């Protein structure tokens, strides 16, 4: 069985990070229109908070993806469960993700979306676990860096649960396979 233990990141800390990111993104894009792509399901809480702190004109879209695993990343395949509704050719795209772990999903997704000829692609993640990287991936905007612990809440799940927790908590699993 699993159990949610201590709070790692409070709602106040998350709020501060979101406000900072929103300001930075608004400044960086100036008045240009962006296509914000929320990655389902984990990013839904962060996305809702973040977009309300960004004052650029935007079109909001969603994708649901999973990476094919980490063995041979050179081909960069990502399985698309739900694709974009909008054409991103010539657009400035901002991908909004919950957490970057190995980096494989975002590396693959960026490659996939670049093939559609956008003007630019940047990635904004609420949380980042740089110590877990398996590929060389750096996000453009990071809310909060976290240590190598499995975390839940603020949209992040374990087996579909705990996404509704307002703060971020560490999850402990007996017998350990997360």
What gap in Å lies between CA 102 and CA 47, rounded to an integer? Answer: 21
**Could you say which residues in the range 42-71 bind Mg ion, by CB under 5 A?**
42
28 annotated active-site: no
Residue 170 CB, shortest distance to Mg ion, in Å, is 16
Task: Based on the shown chain and the rule CB under 6 A, indicate whether residue 65 belongs to the binding site for ligand IMP.
Answer: no
User: How far apart are CB 67 and ligand IMP at their closest, in Å?
Assistant: 5
What is the rounded distance in angstroms from the CA atom of residue 48 to the CA atom of residue 58? 13
Q: Does 99 bind ligand IMP (CB under 6 A)?
A: yes
Shortest Cβ distance from residue 19 to ligand IMP (Å)? 23
**Catalytic, out of 49, 92, 98, 101:** 101
Bridge partner list, 169: 7, 152
| Main-chain dihedrals φ then ψ at residue 2, nearest 5 degrees | -105, 160
Nearer to Mg ion by Cβ, of 42 and 143: the residue is 42
Q: Which of ligand IMP, Mg ion, none interacts with 150 (beta carbon under 5 to 8 A by kind)?
A: ligand IMP
Q: Which residues from 68-97 bind Mg ion, rule CB under 5 A?
A: none
User: What is the pairing mode between strands 34-40 and 141-145?
Assistant: unpaired
**Helix H or strand E segment including 5:** strand 2-9
On the CB side of 158, CA atoms within 13 Å amount to 20
User: Which SS3 state, helix, strand or coil, does residue 108 take?
Assistant: helix
Interface positions with Mg ion (CB under 5 A): 42
Binding residues for ligand IMP (CB under 6 A)? 42, 67, 97-105, 150-152, 156
Q: Which positions are annotated as active-site residues? A: 101
């Amino acid at each position: 069985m699993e159990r949610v233990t201590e709070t790692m990141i409070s709602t106040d800390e998350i709020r501060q990070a979101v406000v900072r990111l929103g300001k930075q993104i608004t400044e960086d894009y100036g008045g240009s229109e962006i296509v914000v792509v929320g990655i389902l399901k984990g990013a839904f809480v962060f996305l809702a908070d973040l977009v309300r702190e960004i004052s650029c004109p935007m079109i909001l879209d969603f994708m649901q993806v999973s990476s094919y695993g980490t063995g041979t990343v050179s081909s960069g395949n990502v399985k698309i469960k739900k694709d974009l509704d909008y054409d991103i050719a010539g657009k400035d795209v901002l991908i909004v993700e919950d957490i970057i772990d190995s980096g494989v999903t975002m590396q693959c997704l960026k490659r996939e979306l670049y093939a559609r000829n956008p003007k630019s692609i940047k990635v904004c993640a609420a949380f980042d676990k740089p110590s877990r990287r398996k590929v060389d991936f750096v996000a453009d905007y990071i809310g909060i860096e976290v240590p190598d612990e499995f975390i839940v809440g603020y949209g992040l799940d374990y087996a579909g649960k705990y996404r509704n927790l307002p703060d971020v908590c560490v999850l402990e699993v007996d017998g350990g396979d997360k």
